[in-house]
Every structure is written in C-alpha cells, then in structure tokens.
Structure 1
Amino acid sequence: MRTPTTVEKLRGLPWSYATNAANTVFSQFVYMGSVFVLFLDHLGLSKTEIGFVLALTPLAALIAPFVAPYTARIGYKRAFVLYYGGRKAVTVLLLLTPVILSAYGGRTAFWFVAGVTALFSLSRAVEETAYYPWLQEFVPNSVRGKYSATSNIFTAFTGFVSVWIAGLVIGHTAGLNGFMLLFAAGIVAGFVSVWACTFIPGGAPNPSEAAGERNLWAALRDADFRRYLLGLALITLGTVPLASFLPLYLRDLVGLDSSAVVFIQMGTLLGTLSSSYLWGWAADRYGSKPVMLTGAAMLVAQPILWWLLPRQMVWSLYPALGVAFLQGVGNLGWGIGAARLLFVTIVPTEKKMDYLALYFFWAGVTSGGSQLLGGRVLDLTKSIAGQWGPLMLDPYTPIFLVSLLMPLGSILLLRAIRGDSPFSTSQFAGLFLRGNPFLAMGSLVRFHWARDEEDTVAVTERMGTIRSRLAVDELLEGLADPRFNVRFEAILAIARMPADERLIAGLVKTLEGRTPALSVLAAWALGRLGDEHAHAALRTALDASSYRSVQAHSARSLGTLGDRSAVPVLLERLTHEEDEGLQVAYASALGKLGAVEATGPLLGLLGRCEDEMTRLEVALALARLVGDERHFIQLLRRLRTEPDTGAAQAVSGLARHLAEEGGISAEAQATLLLSAEAFAQNRMEAGVEQLLAGIASLPPLAEAGADDIRRVCVARLAVSPEPPIDYLLLLLFVLRAG
C-alpha cells in the first residue's frame, strides 16, 4: 500500500474543501438543517416520530465496527466514494413523497420517508466508517487545525448562502413544493460533491489491516479513549436534542415564522465563518485540548440564552440571531478541538480502524439516542406551562436543563485527558485576556505578510506595544530572523512583554550568541522582564562572556533582578577590575542590591571617576545603600535646575528635620539656616562652609555605611573651591536619609 507524500496530500486538500462545500448544500437542503425538521413537521409527525426519523442517521453507525474491515479491504477511498454516491442516489426517492402522501396518506408517507432515511443512513454509516481513517491519512497533522478552519470557512460560507436561499424558498412557496425544490437542488450539489472527492489522494486498499487481528477491547481499555467517548456522550446528550428541536421551539414558542426559523441558521453559520480561522490557528499553535474545552465552556451558556429569548415579539429574530452566532462559535471551537485531539493524540495510527469504528459507533448511539429521547420528552412534557422568575416553564424546559448540565460534566471529565501541548485551558484563555487580542491578531497577520525589513520592524515594534501573549511565537520568529534590525526590534518588543518562559529562553539564546550588540540588548531585556529564570544565564554571561559590554549589562540586570547571590562576585570584580565601564556597571548592580559592604570600594570609585554622568551613577549607587533613590533623583533635579535655590531648600529642610528629631543643637541649627541663606544668595562656597560647620557636631548616622559616605563627602567638600554637585548632592541626601 503506497502512502501519499505530504506534497500530494497538500495538493489534494482543495478537493476536500470542494467536497465538503458541495455536500453542505446537500445537507442544508435535505437532511441536516432546519428544512428537514420543518418538512417532517409539515407531514404531521409528532415530536416522537420526528425524533425517530432524525435518530435513524446517527443510529446507523451501530454497523461501523462490523463494516470497518470491509472498508479497509476494498480501500477507504473506494468505499467512501461508492457509498457517498449511494446515499445521494437513495435521496432521489424523497422527491416521490408528495405522490406517496397524496395516494396513500400521512402514515404511509411517514414510513416511506423513514425508509428512505434509513437507507440513506446505512449508506452514510459505511461511508463515514471509511472516511475517518482516510481523513487521518490525507490531512498532515502539522496543518490539521488549519485544514479544519479552512474547510469550515468554505462550508460555513456555502451553508450561509444555502440557508438564505432555503429561507426564501420556504417563505415564498406553499405545501411541499418548496421542500421538493430544495431537495432536488441539494441532490444535484450532492453529486458534484461525489465527483470532487475522487481527486483526494490516499485511502488505498489495506488487506493487511483488514485481515489483522482485531481487538476492540484493547481500544476500550485505553483510559484516554474512554474519557473521550464519555465526554463526547455528555456533550452530545446536551447539545443534539436542543439543536434538533430548536426550529420547532423558535416557531411554536418564540413566535418566528418558518422562513425566519431557517434564517436563524445563518447566525450559526456566520459564527462558524467568523471564528474558523481563529479556532484552527489556535488548535495548531496551542493544542487541541484547550481549544476543545474552551468551546465546550461556551456551549454551557447556550441553553440559558435560548431559554431567555423574548417570546412573541416582532424583534425576537434579532437576539435569536445573536445567540445562534455565539452557538456557531462555540460549536466550532468544540468541533475543531475535539476532532484534532482525536486524530492527533487519542487514536494511534496503527490502530485507527478499531478506534475510529468504535468512535463512529459511539457517536451514532449517543446522537441517535439523544434525538429519540428528546422527541419523547417533548411529547411527555407538552402540558408543562408556567413561569419561575424570568424563566418560562414549558415542554422545552427539561431539554434546556439537560443542555446546561451535560456540557459541564463533559468539561470536568475531559480535563483529565492527555493533551497535545503544554498549554492549559486557563493559560489559553489568559492569552486573550492580556493585552488587546484583536490588535494582536491583526499584527500577527501583518507580520507574516510584511513586504520588507522596514515593515517587519514596524510590526514587531507594534507587537511589543500591544503586550499580548498571542504574539509570543512571532516574536521568537523575529529573534531568529536573519535581518539584524528585525532581531534588534524583537528584543526591544520582548522587553515590553509580560514574562514568558519561551521568551526568556529566546533571550538567553541571544545572550549566549556571538553578536555582542544583540547580546547586550538581550541582557538588558532579561533584567527588564524581571523573571528569576534569567538569573543563571546572566551569571554565566557575567563569568564567561568574552565581551566586556555583555558582562557589564549582565551585571546591571542581575542588580535589577535583585540577585543577592551575585554580590560576592560583583564585589570581588569591582575591587580588581581596571576597566572603568565595568567598574561602574558592578557599582550600579551593588547599589541596587543594597550591598552595604561595598560602600568603601564605591567611594573609592567615585573619587577616581572624572566623567560627570559616571560620577552621578556611582553616587546613585551609594545613595541606594542608605535610602530611597526617588528622593535622590528629586534632589538632583532641583540642584541641576537651580543649584542655589535647590541647595537652600534642601539645607533648610534638613535643619527643620533635625530639629524635630531632637538631634541638633540650637547653635548648629542656626548655622544650617545661615548655610541655607548663603545658598539662596548664590554664595555656594559660603553655603558649603556653613553646612560643614553646622553638621560637625551631629551624632553618628543610623544607616549602615551612611557615616562613611558622610565622612568622605565632608572631606571632599572641605578642600574643593568649587563644590562638586555629586558630593554635595550625596551629602545632603545621606544627612536626610541616614
């Protein structure tokens, strides 16, 4: 048996889209949409009888385990095409319904329609049994989510148009004429679908699989498979009865006419169409399980919303369309996630015949059983009437309650199933709660469609500004881009993002790279992100990097991250390093870390530095050892803007503070006030002289290291004819903070 190549599979996917789109017309016009339910009701069937006819299709799946070897033996594709065409041919008989009804009456027409539906269902059961293994083969796992999304876009759009046409036809025709017209058009579309599917590759006969030893019990012993089937059953029991009889609820209780009921499906299809790409993309990127559970959570709300619809109002159609839209979104999320999980994680490829036959069998049993049960419940509860708070009590109330509880149970059960990605459901939901997900999605699209480097850089910058975790993969892709400017901008963007393990790992890889300009930026970004997972990589870069600039920025980031374990290394390097740039970086880190033991070396460095900005940075490091840097910066700004006024205000404030604390004599306070007056008159040297005299009798400062700083500053100011701003600034700060 030859397996098609990935290229052949990808080439065949458009034919699969065409097959599904054409079959959507058939389904909406004949068996699977509101049209068929209204057709059965028009024949005068009870809800139990309608449920019986609807249940025939899923219940036919009971034959799946028995026909699976046959489909493998003749080939999944051949079996599919043969029985796929057969079910379309059988459906032609439905066009005789008006003749049967006219000649033999309603009961005979009921059994005739049921018989045709049964033949259709049996043919469909064989076809679907062949389809699932074939589907697992011809769709590559790497694009399975994208395939589902794209297929759903085509089918939703086709379904949208089909429902619109069906609504118009039903609204403008009388009796069975409109139904027969739709059936005929659907059958034609069905045969087009049969033609298109012949171009899909794969599905060759597999005699070895057909003749191999079957062990259905082995599949059922698979704990994850059992959980999956039970979760599927709960979802089915909760959603299928509601979906099956929703057209009658909307017509009989909400008050919509038949054409409006058909139009409601347009809301569902619009929800499917608008969310298809998002769900498929999310499933491929973040895994099947979180997408599946998120979709299931959305289904929990559906029965409540349907239950609360305003009834017998002219405008009831519009909220109903809104609820249908949300239902389409939730249904598709569940469908894409559950299907992808089944094919990628749950079903072993070598045992797909047994697993998928059991899956189809079980899906049919639960779906058919739920439709039978739903119809019977509606007939038994037809006398219920009343109101409880805002909720109307009617025959559909039990259906709504079951539809609420069953998906909840399914979520609790499926949470324990093995996933296919490290993302949890809460993490997945959190992706859409941080930042702006709509702007993020737009940026992701523009990133992949960027024309040149300039566009890519601009989009990358925007992703950082939006700060959405949805952009993590694109930012990592930016880090690996061969264009330097894109990588540079990606690092800047990542620095603005919330901390993320994958982003940290990407920055660490860049830090360890051989492009020092980017390594320096990566070291800075790791510090800005503030995640402790960066400590080890930064310490390694500090010790082992051959680039001084990388060592310097690694030291600074370790200080920013508060890594106290780095203090001994930084202090040792500060005392032995000869490069002033590295010395200042170590000093800054030690200051941020509050390493009081570094006071002496920092004071020595301050005395050796000649550049003003360098001196101020070292002074700031010293200030951080004894107080709040905010006050240091505020004082610096005042001294820079108006040195005389700033110094005068600082000294007078110091005098008041010391007087309130009781730590200064009246004479010393008076001297400080004279200093403030001298500063105010722009007599800076006199102001410094009076300041030093006023503080000479002060007791030792309480903060560790503060007295050492005061002593050095006093000594430096005493011998300087022009008081350096850094020493004056540092002294005033220490006197107030220490």
Structure 2
Amino acid sequence: MSEQLSAFRIKKARRIFDSFSGINSFSFALVTGNTITLYAMLLGANSTVIGLLGAFMSLSFFSIPLGKYGLKRWGLVKTFAHNWTLRNFSLLPLLLIPFFYVRGDLDISLVLMLLSVFLFNFFRGIGLISNNPVIGILSTGKNRGEYIVWLSLINNATALVATLFLAVLLWHGSGVEIYNIAMIVGIVTGTIASLLLYWLPDSGMKSFESTEKPLSLFSTLKVAFANHNLRTFLFSYLVLGLGIGMARPFIIVFCKEVYGQSDGVLTLFTLCSVLGALLMGLVLRLVIDRLGAKPMYIIFSAIVPVSLFFAFAAPAIGAPVASLIFLSLLSAVVNVGFAGQESAAQTYFFATVPRNQLVDMSMLYFFILGGTGVVGAVFGGAFLDFLYAVGFSPVVAYRIFFLVCIVLTGFGIVIQRRLQDLGSYHVRDSLAVLFSPRDMRALTLLRKLDTTRDPERETRLIAAIGTVGSAISVEKLLDHLSSPRFVVRYEALQSVARLERLSPRVTETLLFELENREFSTAALAARLLGQFRVSHAGSLLRLALKSPDYRLVAEAMLALARIGDERAQFLVGQVLVSSNNPFILIHGVRAMEIWHNTSAVPILLDLLRNDYLPAHIADETILTLSELMGVPRRFFYRYEEYIRERDKMNVFIYEEIDEMFSRRKRKDHDFQKIILDFLNDQFADEPFVRWVLDFSRGKTGIFSALLVSVALDADLNRQESFRFFLCFWAVTVFGNPKLIEK
C-alpha cells in the first residue's frame, strides 16, 4: 500500500476499510472489555484474575515491535491481515469453556480464558503496527481529519450495536451458554473483518516512514528526556495512565459487587459507556483543532477524578431506581474522561514530537500506554483482594481503591499544567467555549464549512457564522480571505464586526486588507479598524484618503474620526471641499460630527458654500451643525417638517418663538420681527447679527462666534435652509441663553 495511490483507489480502499472498521468494532465489543469481565466473574474469577484480563489488553502494545519483522516479510497490509486473522483464531479455546464449566472445572475454564485473551492481544499488538500507517494513507488530503473522525464514529456506533445485541442476549439469561453465543458471533464477525483487509491495495510498504535510522530503546529514552516538554508530557501520561489503568477494569465490577446489579443491567452500563465515548467524539472533533490539544488533555483528564469522586461517595446504595440512574451516569461520564484524554494526549504527542522521531517515540508512547495499563490493572486487582483479605467490606474497599485512583490522576493533572501551550487556548477560555452555546454553534458551522464543496453553500455558511459573533470562528474565517471569490472574502471579513475585541492576528489581517485590497475589501477593513478604535492604523488610513476607491476614502474618513486622529481632520476637510462624490461627502460630514470639535464647524461651513452640493448633503451638513452647536434634538423633527413643507417655514419658526415666549413668560416683538425678517430675506442679516451680539453681552462661545461670523456671508445666508437653521438656533438661544456660550 502506498501513499501514491490514485484518488479512485483511495476511495475504493476507504469503502473496504470502513466496512472492516464497522465489523471489527462489532466483534471487538463482543469479545473484550466488560463482556470478558462479566464472563470471568460468572466463572468465579477473583479481582486478580480480572486485573490480569484487563492487563492483557495493554500488554498488546509490547508486541508491536515484533510487527517490524512482519513488515519486512509480508508488507503493510498482509502483516495487518495475517495477525488480525490469528487474533480471532486465538479465541477459539473460549468455545471449550462450557464443556469444562458443566463438569465443574472452573480453574481450567479460567486458564483457557486467560490463554485466549493473552494470545488475542499478542497478535493484536503485532498487527497494530500497520493500523495507523494504513489510516494515514487512506486519510491523505484536505479531509484527513474528517475521515479519521468518521472512522471513530463508525467504531463507536457499531460497538453500540454490539452492546445492544449483548444486552438482548443477557436479558434472557446470563448463563455460560449466553456468553458462548456472544463469543461465537464475535469470532465469526472478527474473521470476516480480517478477510476484508486482504482486499486493500498493497504496494509492499515495508516499514514506517522515517528519515533516520531507528533508535534503540535506551537512545529513545535519552532523546525523550532531553526534551523538557516531551519529558513532562510522558511523565504526566505515565501517572495518569496508572490511575486510569487501575480504575478502568473495575468500574463494571464496582457496579456488580457494591450495588449488586445483574449482568443484564451491567450491559446497560456498558451501553452508557459507549454513548459517553460517542459524546466525547462529537465534542472533541469540533474543538480540539480550534482550541488546542493541551486544554482538552487537561479538561478530559479532570473529568476522570471528578467522576471517580462520585464513585468514592457511592450514593444511592439500596435505592434501585436512584442507583440505576447514578451508575448509568457514572459509566457514561467516566468513559468520556477515559476516551477524551486518550485522544487529546495522542494529538498533543504528535504536535510535540518531531516528524523524524515519530516512529521511535511512538514505540515509547505505546510502551507507557501498555505498561500503565498492565501495572494499573494488576495492581488494582491485587490491591482490592488485599483490602478484602484484611476485612474491609466492598463499599469501604472500593472507596479506598477509588481514592488512590483520584490521587494518581489528580497528580497527573498537576504535572499537565507545566506543558507548553503550543498555541492553544487557556483551560479557562476553553471551558468558556465548551459551555457557550454560541461558540459551539459556531464550531459546528465551521465544521460544515470545512467539508462543503459548494461555493454557494460556502458563502451562506460564512454569513451564518458571521451572525453568531464568536471570536473562535472569526479566526478561522480569516483563512477564507484568500478565496478568489469576492463574496466569500467579504463575508469572512464582515464577521469581524460582531466581535467584542480584536485579537492581534485579526488586527494584522485588517491592516493588510486596508493596504492591499483597494476596490475589494479595503473599505470594509477601514470601517472595522475604526469600529474597534485601532489607533495605530492612522497612517494607513491617512494614505487611504488619496485612494481612487471612493468607498475606501469614505470609510477611512469615518475611521480616522473614530480613532480620534485630529491631525487627519484637516486632510478630510480638504477631501470634502474638493470632492463632488455624494458618498464621500456624506461620510465626511458624519466624520466631522464624530470629531465634534471647533475645527469641524468651518469645514462644514465651507462645504455648504459648494454651489453644486446636493440638497440631501446640505441637509445632513446642517443637521450636523445643529449637533455641534448643541441645538435641541427637536430641531431634527422641525427640519424634517420644513423639508416636506417649505412654504410653511414661517409657521414653524413662529411656533418655536411662541413656545419660547410662553416659557419665559414675556414677549419680545422686536426679536420676533428680526427673526422672521431674516428668515424671509437674506439681506436682513445685519439686524440678526446685531441682536446676537447684544444678547450675548460678550459671552459668545467659540461655536457661536463661528456661526455668527458667517451669518453675513452671502454665499451661505442666501440658502433658505441655512437661514432656517440660524433662526431656529437664535430662538433656542433666546429660550436658553447659556447656549450662546457654547
């Protein structure tokens, strides 16, 4: 089998391997794990024997090096297929157990079981040397992660079916004949799965890919311990493995010995364990690549001692319904921790180890995995037997047992905290994501985005992700800025607007887009830089004022105002005076309103002198002036009425004058005449200015002084709308004299 397989052959091989994985997992669930444990307990096995059976599963990792000899002789696929076939044939002695059981030879029955399980895992270990390379070859390309997750789902789903099948069998009885049926079905389906492996294409790959000569075990240890982070990881993995290796085989035994559950009910707990693993897979596939391996390693590891603490408490003993619920939840949650920390640990391991050392370090990794499983299971069984021997009841014995497991796993978590982050999130931030419906929805949409091959659906998904407003999704969306489709790039950038703050990477991306994407996404980048007040973007935004992209110019003006770059206000004023583009003009006026300083007033007045200024721009400018002058907001509604019915402007101003007279409880007919005369005649400006100066009594503020100084400007006061504004302002000053000091 080669990594140079064509796309067609890979697709065909995947179908074969998918079938193999499903059937193999079905078989594996029937002949290992809790099934064998329950079968052994039926035969009268003590805790030591049960511990040995659990240890044999881990011992398989120590036979992996023997697979190298098989690779040299048979190649990758045949080494896999031969040993998987022998693995299943090694279980045939189990079929003799009913004959010895009927005769009362329980010791012989247990010996046959120990021998079969040992050989099963021995050949399994030799074949495992081919498993990961085969998956690696079949999962080449962009959808590598998707395919690996798909295999995991197949394995867990078919294991669930096998558990349900076993539960149905045990529901009708839990005698030796029922377990024998399960073994027969497991052996037959396992053999079928093994035969499927022979159908995989094989070009004679002899060994793992490696760029260096394989190291000895001593040299491997020397290299591993020279790397501080790898040393820390392996130590934490060792300590955690011991605690988990102790606890894992005895969860089901705890349910039987402490709570007295039947084999049929125990199968329900196995079902819950599988469901826990499925739940873990669904969650982990969404988050591990986004959040990083370290926080997931710590979080899922922490689930183990937390769940074991509840086992330590052993609640609801003697309450059938409550104990059933508790043990179901315990089985599910503790397996979430077991399976999750294993997956996260493997991911962190691959991220830590250099590619040219992967083969040798993987051997060390498997040795630790196998060794801790063996030692943990054997020690756990012997420790429980010792506790029973000294007179402890099952409840007390398991409390002491689980306390040791909690201490070991807790110590492993303490060591984990010293691991390098490798670019991952902090644990606290990762927990926030896991418990955030918004972030989890964003991650779900991101996964759909990663797998879609439809450009239109891609655009819709990006838009949907943007509406979620999750920071974790935006970081990923930025990768789509390299898309050749404008709508994809635009939607990806648009998602930034819903963030609470910008990360350094997002900021750098926006600056790049601003500088290099004229007539594309530069305008949107400018808007976002202003929205988030990125002050160091000022120099690029000032350069953007000279761009031929009018949308970029407009957004740059607003952004400069939002970041408070007053040095750029004069440049924006020059653009306003020289431009006839309504889009630029309307944004420039808005920028002056944001700056809200005295420099904005003369710029806006200069703009109003433009003979070609569109009416709606003039209206916007006058409304902005009213904001700067502190004119009450009701001017907006009066001005709106004026625009609709210009012939009633005298009525509108008269109503304002009458209201002010009523508020001040005095009338000033001279003032009324001055205002109405100026409103209707631009040449009646001198009395208007004289009244303002007399009324201010030398207390005219800067804004008011600027406004009054242009009241005599013929280019401005010839505009009826501007006179309407001046008259309304004067009436407002009459009612509130403090306003003239502004």
TM-score range, shorter chain: 0.7 to 0.9
- CA deviations 1:353-373 (Å, max 9, x no partner) are 321111111111111111123
Change (3 A) 1:47 1:519: same
2:316 to 310, 331, 352: 310
The DSSP-based 3-state class of the residue aligned with 1:218 is helix
CA distance in 1 between counterparts of 2:143 and 2:454 reads 26
Aligned position for 2:277? 272
Aligned position for 1:662? none
1:238 to 229, 237, 243: 243
Change (3 A) 1:299 1:632: farther
Cα shift at 1:262: 1.0
Aligned position for 2:186? 186
Tell whether the 8 Å contact from 2:545 to 2:557 is kept in structure 1 after alignment. Answer: yes
**C-alpha RMSD of the superposition:** 4.6
Aligned position for 2:646? none
Worse-superposed segment, 315-324 or 699-708 = 699-708
CA distance in 1 between counterparts of 2:427 and 2:128 reads 31
Change (3 A) 1:702 1:288: farther
CA distance in 2 between counterparts of 1:701 and 1:385 reads 94
Map 1:147-158 onto structure 2 (within 5 A): 147-158=147-158
Tell whether the 8 Å contact from 2:623 to 2:636 is kept in structure 1 after alignment. Answer: no
CA distance in 2 between counterparts of 1:579 and 1:207 reads 66
Map 1:69-88 onto structure 2 (within 5 A): 69-71=68-70, 73-74=72-73, 75-88=75-88
Which ranges of structure 1 fall in alignment gaps of 5 or more residues? 387-392, 658-665
2:399 to 394, 397, 406: 397
Do structure 1's residue 377 and structure 2's residue 383 form an aligned pair? yes
User: In structure 2, what residue type is equivalent to 1:555?
Assistant: M
Equivalenced residues, count:
714
User: In structure 1, what residue type is equivalent to 2:189?
Assistant: A
CA distance in 1 between counterparts of 2:551 and 2:213 reads 68
Tell whether the 8 Å contact from 2:149 to 2:285 is kept in structure 1 after alignment. Answer: yes
Q: What TM-score results when the alignment is normalised by the length of structure 2?
A: 0.80
The DSSP-based 3-state class of the residue aligned with 2:321 is coil
Aligned position for 2:32? 31
Tell whether the 8 Å contact from 1:465 to 1:496 is kept in structure 2 after alignment. Answer: yes
Aligned position for 1:520? 523
Do structure 1's residue 342 and structure 2's residue 349 form an aligned pair? yes
- CA deviations 1:640-671 (Å, max 9, x no partner) are 359899978988999999xxxxxxxx9xx946
Do structure 1's residue 321 and structure 2's residue 328 form an aligned pair? yes
Change (3 A) 1:448 1:55: closer
The DSSP-based 3-state class of the residue aligned with 2:189 is helix
Map 1:183-262 onto structure 2 (within 5 A): 183-198=183-198, 199=200, 201=202, 204-206=205-207, 212=214, 214=216, 215-216=219-220, 217-262=222-267
Aligned position for 1:698? 696
Aligned position for 1:603? 605
Aligned position for 1:541? 544
The DSSP-based 3-state class of the residue aligned with 1:40 is helix
Worse-superposed segment, 20-29 or 447-456 = 447-456
Cα shift at 1:205: 1.6
User: In structure 2, what residue type is equivalent to 1:697?
Assistant: F
Aligned position for 2:13? 12
Aligned position for 1:366? 372
CA distance in 2 between counterparts of 1:487 and 1:471 reads 15
Tell whether the 8 Å contact from 2:704 to 2:740 is kept in structure 1 after alignment. Answer: no
Cα shift at 1:547: 2.0
The DSSP-based 3-state class of the residue aligned with 1:296 is helix
Cα shift at 1:166: 0.8
Aligned position for 2:57? 57
Aligned position for 1:107? 107
Change (3 A) 1:457 1:399: same
Map 1:83-102 onto structure 2 (within 5 A): 83-102=83-102
The DSSP-based 3-state class of the residue aligned with 2:175 is coil
The DSSP-based 3-state class of the residue aligned with 1:396 is helix
- CA deviations 1:36-74 (Å, max 9, x no partner) are 11112112222233213322331454455x646535544
User: In structure 1, what residue type is equivalent to 2:168?
Assistant: L
User: In structure 1, what residue type is equivalent to 2:739?
Assistant: L
Percent identity over paired residues: 19
- CA deviations 1:606-651 (Å, max 9, x no partner) are 4447444423443465566676xxx865542365359899978988
Change (3 A) 1:451 1:197: closer
Worse-superposed segment, 527-536 or 21-30 = 527-536
2:706 to 698, 705, 708: 708
Cα shift at 1:157: 0.9
Change (3 A) 1:477 1:309: farther
Worse-superposed segment, 411-420 or 203-212 = 203-212
User: In structure 2, what residue type is equivalent to 1:247?
Assistant: I
CA distance in 2 between counterparts of 1:333 and 1:644 reads 78
Change (3 A) 1:6 1:423: farther
CA distance in 2 between counterparts of 1:256 and 1:360 reads 35
The DSSP-based 3-state class of the residue aligned with 1:204 is coil
CA distance in 2 between counterparts of 1:730 and 1:373 reads 90
CA distance in 2 between counterparts of 1:321 and 1:673 reads 90
User: In structure 2, what residue type is equivalent to 1:15?
Assistant: I
Aligned position for 2:468? 466
Cα shift at 1:719: 7.8
Worse-superposed segment, 324-333 or 146-155 = 324-333
CA distance in 2 between counterparts of 1:204 and 1:2 reads 7
1:735 to 707, 720, 739: 739
CA distance in 2 between counterparts of 1:494 and 1:79 reads 51
Map 1:664-679 onto structure 2 (within 5 A): 670=666
Change (3 A) 1:28 1:639: same
Tell whether the 8 Å contact from 1:555 to 1:586 is kept in structure 2 after alignment. Answer: yes
Change (3 A) 1:292 1:541: farther
Tell whether the 8 Å contact from 1:79 to 1:127 is kept in structure 2 after alignment. Answer: yes
User: In structure 2, what residue type is equivalent to 1:361?
Assistant: F
